[in-house]
Amino acid sequence: MYKVISFLNFIFYISVVFLIIIYLFPGSLLGFFLYKDFNVQPNLIHNPFGTNINHFIGFFCVSILGLFLHLKRDNFKNLVFGLICLSIILEILQLIVPNRAFEIYDLSANFIGVLVAYFLVKIYKFFSKP
């Protein structure tokens, strides 16, 4: 079981690094891999909200993995705070990255992704008490 938890922790930290790279790369890495064009920002799910859903999905997935891994540790609240700060900092840094732009809707989607993951973990924790 320890090896599984260690592997999942590794995946969590690699996911955070991947999220940072995706956010701070001047252009769209996903657009390059899917369409061979750095200027195209693909939608992970076809929706009327544009790429905001990508931000929600990215932060939700990373947050849910990290929060479940650190559920019974003392640093659980620090991780929540860190993920929220990361979502804010990455969006603000897009002000200085070429070909990227700060958008309040993206920041909101990041923040909501972390909050939804947090509340789902808290609901799980509430109902899993013996």
Number of domains in the chain: 1
Span 20-75, pLDDT tens digits: 998 888 877 777 877 788 777 777 677 677 778 888 999 999 999 999 999 888 88
Residue 130 binned pLDDT confidence (cut-offs 50, 70, 90): low
Distance CA(30)–CA(28), nearest Å, equals 5
Residue 45 lies in a domain: no
Residue 44 lies in a domain: no
Distance CA(129)–CA(20), nearest Å, equals 35
User: Which structural domain range is residue 88 located in?
Assistant: 2-39+50-127
